[in-house]
């Protein structure tokens, strides 16, 4: 596909063999790529749902936005909504069965919340560790935003933000399994390492100063808005250290038709976690989807 500003986008469609109960629009997180969710898509297919996913602009095999293609970047955070539009166009053109549902992880949860405010035509939304705030650890929000703003003013907005990436350019090749923030499942971790080594063009490294500043501002802007009028599910792991747990709890508390699924043993990626935890999340998401079919 091609967005209205000319950026080329890569989408993938998994068709259910039978029992077309509806369709799921799958919004990945930052650094991710379509193939990472093949197993999840196949599980949804087995439950009768077609799936459409995307490589967001600047990552996967969609157009990269900087000469340094390994650096995560976006012109404006609202540009991701252009990508959402193309997903809706593609789903409509393919006559993907209704009702539609949203399944979003991390940054995809931030993009997804704004898309819901803009009228994304789905009946329910399931979020995995949504990026409704970023875990800055000990750094105050204002300091992080100020650093990103100053870098932009100095013409360095397209340069790597400290702490956002490593020497090999992708997290799973830089980090050890024991120290990683994503999953406690060694099989899933090994799969991600194999994919990063075999398909380096799909992977992404750290984020630019511009991305960090704009992401923080988008999370703050969304935190001031009300909640969409549709049923939702959000998962939060006890080992979450990538996004803000407080922001997730606050949003769910202000969302009348939302449920919070907390699992103490899970880190950032419940859909890439141990089979029992992955199954618990997918079961809860499918229950949500079927309740609105």
> What CATH number should be reported for the domain holding residue 18?
3.40.50.1820
Instruction: Summarize the confidence of residues 69-82 as an average pLDDT.
Output: 95
In a domain, 14, yes or no: yes
> Which residues share a beta bridge with 14?
51
Using the predicted structure, report yes or no on whether residue 42 has a pLDDT greater than 50: yes
Report pLDDT for 94: 96
Q: At what angle do helices 209-223 and 107-117 cross, to 10 degrees?
A: 50
Mean pLDDT of 17-29: 93
Report the SS3 class of residue 198: helix
User: Which has more pLDDT, 275 or 166?
Assistant: 275
CB 57 within 8 Å of CB 63: yes
Query: 101 or 16: whose pLDDT is higher?
Result: 101
pLDDT for position 147: 74
> Is 52 a member of any domain?
yes
Give the pLDDT confidence score for residue 19 in this predicted structure.
Answer: 78
**pLDDT tens-digit readout, 113-169:** 999 999 999 999 999 999 999 998 766 667 777 777 677 776 778 887 876 554 446
Percent pLDDT > 70 in the chain is: 96
Position 158 scores a pLDDT of: 80
Pairwise CA distance, residues 37 & 67, whole Å: 27
Residues 273 and 267: beta-carbon distance below 8 Å? yes
Q: Which residues contact 153 (CB under 8 A, 6 or more apart)?
A: none
Strands 49-55, 125-128: pairing kind:
unpaired
Percent of the chain with pLDDT over 90: 84
220 occurs within a structural domain: yes
Among 199, 273, 205, CA closest to 238? 273
Residue 96 has pLDDT above 60, yes or no: yes
User: What 8-state DSSP symbol labels residue 102?
Assistant: E
* Residue ranges making up the domain that contains 285: 10-291
pLDDT digits (tens, 9 = 90+) for 219-271: 999 999 999 999 999 999 999 999 999 999 999 999 999 999 999 999 999 99
Looking at residue 140, its pLDDT comes to: 63
For residue 131, being part of any structural domain is answered with yes
Average confidence score pLDDT of the chain: 93
What's the whole-model pTM score? 0.95
- Residue 134 domain-assigned? yes
pLDDT, residue 32, reads 97
Phi/psi region, residue 118 (left: phi>0; alpha: psi -120 to 50; beta: rest), is alpha
Q: Specify the higher pLDDT residue, 76 or 148.
A: 76
The helix (run of H) or strand (run of E) holding residue 13 is: strand 10-14
Q: What is the DSSP letter of 242?
A: S
For residue 99, being part of any structural domain is answered with yes
Looking at the domain assignment, is residue 2 inside a domain? Answer: no
Domain count, the chain: 1
Structural domain includes residue 182: yes
What does the pLDDT read at residue 166? 47
């Amino acid at each position: 596909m091609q967005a209205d500003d000319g950026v080329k986008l890569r989408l993938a469609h998994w068709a259910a063999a039978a029992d077309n109960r509806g369709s799921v629009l799958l919004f990945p997180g930052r650094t991710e790529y379509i193939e990472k969710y093949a197993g999840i898509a196949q599980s949804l297919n087995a439950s009768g749902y077609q799936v459409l996913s995307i490589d967001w602009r600047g990552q996967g095999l969609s157009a990269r936005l900087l000469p340094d293609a390994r650096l995560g970047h976006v012109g404006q955070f609202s540009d991701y909504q252009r990508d959402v539009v193309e997903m809706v166009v593609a789903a409509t053109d393919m006559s993907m069965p209704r009702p539609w549902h949203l399944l979003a992880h991390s940054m995809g949860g931030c993009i997804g919340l704004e898309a819901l405010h803009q009228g994304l035509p789905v009946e329910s939304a399931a979020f995995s560790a949504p990026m409704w705030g970023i875990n800055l650890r000990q750094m105050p929000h204002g300091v992080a935003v100020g650093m990103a703003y100053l870098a932009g003013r100095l013409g360095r907005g397209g340069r790597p933000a400290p702490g956002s990436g490593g020497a090999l350019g992708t997290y799973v090749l830089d980090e050890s399994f024991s120290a990683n923030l994503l999953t406690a499942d060694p099989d899933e971790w090994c799969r991600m390492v194999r994919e990063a080594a075999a398909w380096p063009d799909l992977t992404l490294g750290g984020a630019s100063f511009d991305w960090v500043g704009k992401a923080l501002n988008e999370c703050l802007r969304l935190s001031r808005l009300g909640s969409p009028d549709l049923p939702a599910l959000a998962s939060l792991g006890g080992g979450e250290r990538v996004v803000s747990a407080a922001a997730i709890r606050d949003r769910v508390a202000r969302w009348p038709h939302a449920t919070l699924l907390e699992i103490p043993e899970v880190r950032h990626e419940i859909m890439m976690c141990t089979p029992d935890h992955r199954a618990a999340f997918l079961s809860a998401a499918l229950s949500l989807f079927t309740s609105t079919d």
